[in-house]
């Protein structure tokens, strides 16, 4: 029979593996990808802009989950992203989540894969042209690997 201690150790190890192995993440929420990663014409700025994540169409206040375990390194307002969370997964890989309505975690907190970190929203702020930066409630989900943005869907299990 396994002791609690052994079980805990095993879980911790599994969490560590899940967070750094590529293609072992879960989607932060279910919904259609409304805008892919890469170059696009920005929906409100109407100029060519690099989209450093994917947009997932979700209703207001949909629970947003941590894609993998890690440490919350940012939970703050960023103009353009609105209410924004960034999670450090180790190995120079971070995931980030924008346009949130409500934070459910705070900075320096450890989160497990699947833990609810926020409720989705439509926060963004005002763009360079004076227009609101979002067109409706959605989650902006992105990844940084060694300081560069990467396609977050490459990290998702079974995508
Ligand atoms: Zn976006």
Average pLDDT over residues 37-41: 92
Q: Where are the alpha helices (DSSP H) in 46-130?
A: none
Q: HSE of 76 in the Cβ direction (CA atoms, 13 Å)?
A: 6
> How confident is residue 58, by pLDDT bands cut at 50, 70 and 90?
very high
Number of domains present in the structure of the chain: 1
**In this predicted structure, what is the pLDDT of residue 86?**
98
Q: Which two tokens stand for residue 6?
A: 């052994």
Cα–ligand 1 centroid distance for 52 (angstroms): 7
**In this predicted structure, what is the pLDDT of residue 40?**
87
Q: Where are the alpha helices (DSSP H) in 21-153?
A: none
Cα–ligand 1 centroid distance for 134 (angstroms): 8
Q: What is the pLDDT of residues 3-37, one digit of tens each?
A: 678 777 777 666 655 555 567 999 999 999 999 99
Average pLDDT along the chain: 88
Q: Where in the sequence is the domain holding 118, given as residue range(s)?
A: 4-155
Q: What is the pLDDT of residues 107-159, one digit of tens each?
A: 999 999 999 999 999 998 776 667 666 778 999 999 999 999 999 999 998 77
Q: What is the pLDDT of residues 82-99, one digit of tens each?
A: 999 999 999 999 999 999
Please tell me the total number of residues recorded for the chain in this structure: 159
Cα–ligand 1 centroid distance for 57 (angstroms): 10
Cα–ligand 1 centroid distance for 16 (angstroms): 28
**In this predicted structure, what is the pLDDT of residue 102?**
98
Cα–ligand 1 centroid distance for 59 (angstroms): 15
CATH of residue 147's domain is 2.70.70.10
Cα–ligand 1 centroid distance for 101 (angstroms): 15
**In this predicted structure, what is the pLDDT of residue 14?**
63
**In this predicted structure, what is the pLDDT of residue 52?**
94
- Please name which of 34, 60, 17 lies closest in space to residue 140, comparing C-alpha atoms: 34
Cα–ligand 1 centroid distance for 36 (angstroms): 8
């Amino acid at each position: 029979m396994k002791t609690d201690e052994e079980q805990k150790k095993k879980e911790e190890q599994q969490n560590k593996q899940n967070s750094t192995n590529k293609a072992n993440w879960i989607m932060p929420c279910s919904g259609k990808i409304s805008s892919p990663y890469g170059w696009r014409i920005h929906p409100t700025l109407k100029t060519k802009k690099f989209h450093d994540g994917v947009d997932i169409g979700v209703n207001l206040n949909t629970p947003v989950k941590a894609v993998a375990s890690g440490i919350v390194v940012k939970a703050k307002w960023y103009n353009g992203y609105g209410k924004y969370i960034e999670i450090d997964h180790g190995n120079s890989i971070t995931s980030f989540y924008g346009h949130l309505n409500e934070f459910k975690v705070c900075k320096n907190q450890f989160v497990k894969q699947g833990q609810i970190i926020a409720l989705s929203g439509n926060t963004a702020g005002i763009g360079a042209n004076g227009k609101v930066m979002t067109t409706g409630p959605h989650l902006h989900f992105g990844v940084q690997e060694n300081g560069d943005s990467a396609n977050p869907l490459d990290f998702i299990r079974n995508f």
